[in-house]
Structure 1
Amino acid sequence: MTTPHDHRRLGRELDLFDTDPLMGAGLPYWLPDGAAVRHALEDYVREAERRAGYQHVHSPVLGKRELYEISGHWSHYSEDMFPPMELGGEQVVLRPSLCPHHALIYRSRSHSYRELPFRMAELGGMFRSELSGVLGGLTRVRAIQLNDAHIFCTVDQVAEEAYAALELIRRAYDAMGIRAARFRLSLPGAGGKYVAAPELWRRSTGLLREVLDRSGVAYDAVAGEAAFYGPKIDVQIADPAGRESTLSTVQVDFHQPERFDLRYVGADGAKHRPVMVHRSVIGSLERAVAHLIEAHGGAFPPWLAPVQLVALPVSDAEVEQAEGLVRRCLDQGLRARLAGPEQGTLSARVRAARLVPYQAVIGAREAAADLVAVRLRDGRHLDPGPTEEALRRIASLIHAHSTDLIGR
């Protein structure tokens, strides 16, 4: 089923992403405009995490099979992993998640209770061996770039850290101009898919219920949707056809700290086991961009728009002034392009730039006085004014991640 804003169609029409059979199913590539949206999201979430006390790391996309045997992925999740590759007498695997690598990074150094909570974040690649029948556009892919983080903390710190993660998610959704369809408390179901540790499941579930109740959001408890190592809060989104998927998550994990023998030195001088809180603010960049395309029909909030300002000289006589405007935009950190008379009439160029938040028309009067007449993509017009003043106002709104075109 497709809709007018189906990201698979619109994303290609807007030159955001595409696929090629030689790259393979479930492996889309990003075109320049799509990469601009993706990079804007990356910059936003890294800065939001930095301000929230996270430290960023980078880790390899490969790991020895033994790593995933220790984490439990091999016994509980191997059907969704790519087959091992033989390398120098060892088997290495494309990672299905980042948490085992982050556990090893934590374990590589000693930690005191004074350092906790220790918040570790990464925008990293992971891989899922999805069946061809479920692949589609950017929502189900085989190579995933995930906004992931793991917080190593004491039991007493878990609820506060999980609550803070939900607040990061709420602020990110406001900035992206999207909303959650619902919140789900994902619990284990029947069968051997889940780690057999009833007491750990009870404690983890109780902590997440506490966080949800404190947040004041309505939620549904659903069996069979937990991670194999613990329960999670899933923030569900819906596409225009009403189909749900998970974008953001918060998870509590007592299992992997034990499997990797993670420790910290407590105030008593003894070694204690930390808890691992997994959280993703915007989920995978692929799924986030897919939802943004569908939610906004390609008319992204200004800070996310691939092109934020287009310079439209009325005639050839104003091209030089328009080129200067583009350079000034770039100097202010804005994404701007020139659409000159060779691309058609002014009205045709305005139509072609219908999704660009700011359309700067430069006629003879504006060129002579260093003015700019800004047309907003919603059809409103601002009075001609000094170029520098207009650019400062636009840059201020964009750098503040506002969803409004002219501020309030």
Structure 2
Amino acid sequence: MHDHRRLGRELDLFDTDPLIGSGLPYWLPAGADVRHGLEEYIREVERRAGYRHVYSPVLGKRELYEISGHWSHYSEDMFPPMDLGGEQLVLRPSLCPHHALIFRSRSRSYRELPLRMAELGGMYRSELSGVLAGLTRVRAIQLNDAHVFCTIDQVADEARAALELIRRAYRALGITPARIRLSLPGEGGKYVAAPELWERSTALLIEVLESSGLAYEAVAGEAAFYGPKIDVQIADGAGRESTLSTIQVDFHQPERFGLGYIGPDGSRHRPVMVHRAIIGSVERAVAHLIELHGGAFPAWLAPVQLVALPVSADEVPAAAAFVEHCLDRGLRAELADPEQGSLGARIRSARLVPYQAVIGAREAAADQVALRLRDGRRIDPLAVAEVLGRIGELVTDRSLDLW
């Protein structure tokens, strides 16, 4: 595997500046394209799975996190409060308290459940400088987060469905998990003291894992402070593990926020929260993809998906028109003008681009292109419409195949 910190800078994906601060990388245009493609993919997957997307503020009153339990169990990892007009505001360490309040803002019926609420939202952790690393450990995190508010009878099915979304996303991204971890509480005061709730939550997650036929390893001391987790672990080239995706069962916060819904009996009942992140943080996901693919991202995710290579200045108009057709189809395409160097030099410069469309005099006259694929294959000249149809289909399907 490659080192994403080195390769990410070489490929102009992201960078840092001491005036912005440690653990606060910025995204360059190529990296922003990858990030945007990943975010659009996960939003579409979630929409199709019945999730509705929301936006919520990155700040909240200290009181919000006192109610949720973050302040008493997690404050060491939070940024200090900001005093403003007699109130203390805090950069949120998690999105779940905001989502609990959104659920609580309306009267809810059992007919609305399961209510699946998703957000690609920012959260902030005051990580020590010694543990910060490229995109894998940062202080400002864009999290693919969601919370399912459901009845106790719906928990297992919702967690299983989330697990299937994770598997589907990994297939599209070419990711192979290192292992599945059942993260359980350890000793000490880090965890909410509610033995019965921990036992119920753990039993539900074990049921999900075993019914899904997945091998897993139970590890104490890795749970969230409010409940156990299924963690999908990935590994870098040196074998260092980190958590990318997670599923959690939470009885604690619905109780703390007084969440409720009206059941079929007309009485008020308490929902359960299922927390889940399909691709985890966008930063860590992109870091892993950089290392996994060496910058040669799947075609649907590549910053530039196709480059047009006119052989000489005479073919520039035809190549420019081809690029316009690509853009009209939603493809990220660029023109490599002959003034940028010889054809061979331009081909080498575009070695990580999935599709290189060579256009000589014969292709320009026939409204065709001769494709060179990133893996070295060459496709005989084809009509522009046929090429765009084939590539467009592969990109739309988020295929790992180039042709």
TM-score scaled by structure 2? 1.00
Distance apart, 1:340 and its partner CA: 1.2
Q: What is the distance in 2 between the residues matched to 1:241 and 1:312?
A: 38
Aligned pairs (5 A) from 1:198-217: 198-217=195-214
The question of 1:394 aligning with 2:361 is answered no
Give the one of 229, 233, 237 matched to 1:236.
233
- CA offsets 1:161-201 (integer angstroms, 9 cap, x no match): 00000000000000001111100000000000000000000
Which residue of structure 1 lines up, in the alignment, with residue 222 of structure 2?
225
Which residue of structure 2 lines up, in the alignment, with residue 320 of structure 1?
317
Give the one of 107, 111, 121 matched to 2:108.
111
Distance apart, 1:388 and its partner CA: 1.0
Q: What is the distance in 1 between the residues matched to 2:167 and 2:112?
A: 26
Which residue of structure 2 lines up, in the alignment, with residue 155 of structure 1?
152
Which residue of structure 2 lines up, in the alignment, with residue 274 of structure 1?
271
Give the one of 372, 377, 386 matched to 2:374.
377
Residue 123 of structure 1 aligns to a residue whose secondary structure is strand
Amino acid paired to 1:230: G
The question of 1:367 aligning with 2:364 is answered yes
Which residue of structure 1 lines up, in the alignment, with residue 138 of structure 2?
141
Amino acid paired to 2:288: H
Which residue of structure 2 lines up, in the alignment, with residue 309 of structure 1?
306
The question of 1:166 aligning with 2:173 is answered no
Which residue of structure 1 lines up, in the alignment, with residue 184 of structure 2?
187
- CA offsets 1:45-99 (integer angstroms, 9 cap, x no match): 0000000000100000000000000000000000000000001100000000000
Amino acid paired to 1:242: G
Give the one of 6, 24, 27 matched to 1:9.
6
The question of 1:352 aligning with 2:349 is answered yes
- CA offsets 1:228-283 (integer angstroms, 9 cap, x no match): 00000000000111110000000000000000000000010000000000000000
The question of 1:343 aligning with 2:363 is answered no
Amino acid paired to 1:148: D
Q: What is the distance in 2 between the residues matched to 1:392 and 1:334?
A: 11
Amino acid paired to 2:245: S
The question of 1:120 aligning with 2:120 is answered no
Residue 384 of structure 1 aligns to a residue whose secondary structure is strand
Residue 94 of structure 2 aligns to a residue whose secondary structure is coil
The question of 1:60 aligning with 2:57 is answered yes
Amino acid paired to 1:56: H
How many pairs were matched up? 403
Q: What is the distance in 1 between the residues matched to 2:298 and 2:139?
A: 28
Which residue of structure 2 lines up, in the alignment, with residue 36 of structure 1?
33
Q: What is the distance in 2 between the residues matched to 1:389 and 1:378?
A: 20
Q: What is the distance in 2 between the residues matched to 1:98 and 1:299?
A: 32
Distance apart, 1:291 and its partner CA: 0.2
Give the one of 326, 330, 352 matched to 1:329.
326
Amino acid paired to 1:243: R
Which residue of structure 2 lines up, in the alignment, with residue 255 of structure 1?
252
Distance apart, 1:343 and its partner CA: 1.1
Structure 1 moving runs of 4+ over 4 Å: none
Amino acid paired to 1:275: V
Q: What is the distance in 2 between the residues matched to 1:16 and 1:194?
A: 38
| Structure 2: segments with no counterpart, 5+ residues | none
Which residue of structure 2 lines up, in the alignment, with residue 46 of structure 1?
43
Amino acid paired to 2:140: A
Q: What is the distance in 1 between the residues matched to 2:235 and 2:395?
A: 26
Percent of aligned pairs sharing the same letter: 80
Give the one of 290, 296, 309 matched to 1:299.
296
Amino acid paired to 1:209: I
Residue 105 of structure 1 aligns to a residue whose secondary structure is helix
- CA offsets 1:109-136 (integer angstroms, 9 cap, x no match): 0111111000000000000000000001
Moved more, 347-356 or 94-103: 347-356
| Structure 1: segments with no counterpart, 5+ residues | none
Residue 383 of structure 1 aligns to a residue whose secondary structure is strand
Residue 378 of structure 2 aligns to a residue whose secondary structure is coil
Distance apart, 1:392 and its partner CA: 0.9
Q: What is the distance in 1 between the residues matched to 2:174 and 2:308?
A: 26
Q: What is the distance in 2 between the residues matched to 1:218 and 1:356?
A: 37
Which residue of structure 2 lines up, in the alignment, with residue 290 of structure 1?
287
Give the one of 94, 98, 101 matched to 2:98.
101
Distance apart, 1:25 and its partner CA: 0.4
Q: What is the distance in 2 between the residues matched to 1:108 and 1:74?
A: 22
Amino acid paired to 2:357: A
Q: What is the distance in 1 between the residues matched to 2:357 and 2:237?
A: 32
Aligned pairs (5 A) from 1:18-33: 18-33=15-30
Residue 235 of structure 1 aligns to a residue whose secondary structure is strand
Residue 300 of structure 2 aligns to a residue whose secondary structure is coil
Distance apart, 1:137 and its partner CA: 0.3
Q: What is the distance in 2 between the residues matched to 1:212 and 1:127?
A: 30
Amino acid paired to 1:197: A
Amino acid paired to 1:358: Y
